[in-house]
Amino acid sequence: MADPMKIRAQLKGDVAEIRVLMGHAMETGQRKDAAGKTIPPHFIQSMTVEVGGKKVVDGQVGTSVSRNPVFGFKVKGAKAGDKVVVSWVDNKGDKRTDEVAVA
Question: How far is the C-alpha of 20 from the C-alpha of 34, rounded, in Å?
Answer: 32
Q: What angle do CA 76, 70, 57 make, to 5 degrees?
A: 35
- Total residues found in the chain within this entry: 103
**DSSP at 89:** E
Q: Judged by CB, which is closer to other proteins: 42, or 91? A: 91
CB of 4 to other proteins, least distance (A): 19
> Cα angle vertex 8, ends 14, 5, to 5°?
145
Give the footprint of other proteins on this chain (CB under 8 A): 15, 26, 28, 30-33, 45-46, 48-49, 51, 54-67, 69-78, 89, 91
Q: Which is nearer to other proteins, 6 or 46 (CB)?
A: 46
In whole angstroms, the minimum distance from the beta carbon of 59 to other proteins comes to 4
Q: Minimal distance in Å, beta carbon 99 to other proteins?
A: 16
